[in-house]
Amino acid sequence: MKVVFLDRDGVINQFPGNGNYVTRCKNFHFLPGALDAIKELSGRGYELFVISNQAGVGKGLFTQKKLDQITHKMLRGVKQAGGKIRKVYYSTSRSDSGCEFRKP
């Protein structure tokens, strides 16, 4: 199995930066070329996984439900473009939590 792990913010979608988060669907925008790259990798037989820290949930800036809605929008866009993401994994813990599930 050929596998690719992708971060979300700044790799698939525009990263708001400066400690800001994508907190609503209307603020989620694919980066130019991201959908084409995902389609290409999918077409070449790679299994794609998204791994992302989403500490905004842990900070109470948005809810798990909102994160799920944003994720659904991302997956729908990828599918419509002809790509496939096999699974999405998030850590919603704050960076100061000491949680071992956060990606480095």
CATH number of the domain at 2-91, out of 3.40.1390.20, 1.10.287.40, 3.20.20.10, 3.40.50.1000? 3.40.50.1000
Catalytic residue IDs: 7, 9
Confidence at residue 32, expressed as pLDDT on a 0 to 100 scale: 98
Task: Answer whether 92's CB lies under 8 Å from 57's CB.
Answer: yes
pLDDT in tens, 46-97: 999 999 999 999 999 999 999 999 999 999 999 999 999 999 999 998 888 8
Number of Cβ atoms within 10 Å of the Cβ of 72: 12
Confidence at residue 87, expressed as pLDDT on a 0 to 100 scale: 98
Residue 99 above 90 pLDDT?
no
> Which residues make beta-bridge pairs with 46?
2
Considering the entire predicted model, what is its pTM? 0.92
Confidence at residue 19, expressed as pLDDT on a 0 to 100 scale: 79
